[in-house]
Amino acid sequence: MHPGPRVTEMALHEVLYRQGFGSRRACHALASSGAVRVAGVEQRDPLASLPLAGLILDVHGQHWPVCHHATVMLHKPAGYECSQRPTAYPSVYALLPAPLRQRPTRGQLGVQSVGRLDADTTGLLLLTDDGALLHRLASPKHRVPKVYQVRTRDPVTEALCCALWAGVVLRGEPRPVHAEAAQRTGANELTLTLTQGKYHQVKRMVAALGNRVVALHRSQVGGLTLDGLAPSAWRWLADEELAQLA
């Protein structure tokens, strides 16, 4: 969440623009309006040069750490699509503040979700405008573990868990897919760890073994957990948390 090394200072209106607070003209007007404070001091000069290292803005009372790349964690609730153009449900992006949706980054706007969760799936969703991080987390080559809490229609057996770990043949896949770990946690519940990201993978694997997923929650990505984050809430990831995704 630190600015890039080559730029150490920037005009206030440009900082606002790069953080996603609107067009350059809108950010110039925003700065002039007195809506921005730095360290509790009102800033009305759009051209005022600010040091970027550790810079935190307050915009209309909203606390905003200035960062070169934005990476956040969202606790996705059920009934939301991980799409910029949702069809049947509202978009998860509607749960984020406008600046995160409007950040100008190499021809695109805003943060992008790292993979997707189905509309009825809940849990940990990462979003970033860091293209390198997005690629690394989404690539199966890097085998970032994702942990799911699964509730099934029929009882979970040890045989089911063993089969998920050993590998399941899915329609359209050239070779079996398998879980890194599968553990029964209740009569109709199991914890499943995957390092792949196939379409509807958990649901398809369980269905291929004659059972059915009735509830699905992602509780962990890499070393990150929701750690008490409420459904629909989001928060920034700190540098040390980003390191856990390596």
Instruction: Give the residue numbers marked as catalytic.
Output: 118
Give the SS3 label for residue 213.
Answer: strand
161 Cβ contact partners less than 8 Å away, ≥ 6 residues apart: 182, 183, 184, 190
Distances (CA, A) of 20 to 62, 67, 171, 172, 206: 13, 11, 42, 41, 42
26 Cβ contact partners less than 8 Å away, ≥ 6 residues apart: none
Using CA atoms of 93, 97, 98, 103 in order, give the dihedral in degrees to the nearest 10: -80
* Of the candidates 15, 225, 238, the residue with the CA atom closest to the CA atom of residue 125: 225
Report how far residue 228's alpha carbon sits from residue 125's, in angstroms, rounded to the nearest whole number: 14
Using CA atoms of 194, 242, 104, 50 in order, give the dihedral in degrees to the nearest 10: 170
Structure token digits, residue 137:
């987390």
* Of the candidates 234, 202, 237, the residue with the CA atom closest to the CA atom of residue 218: 202
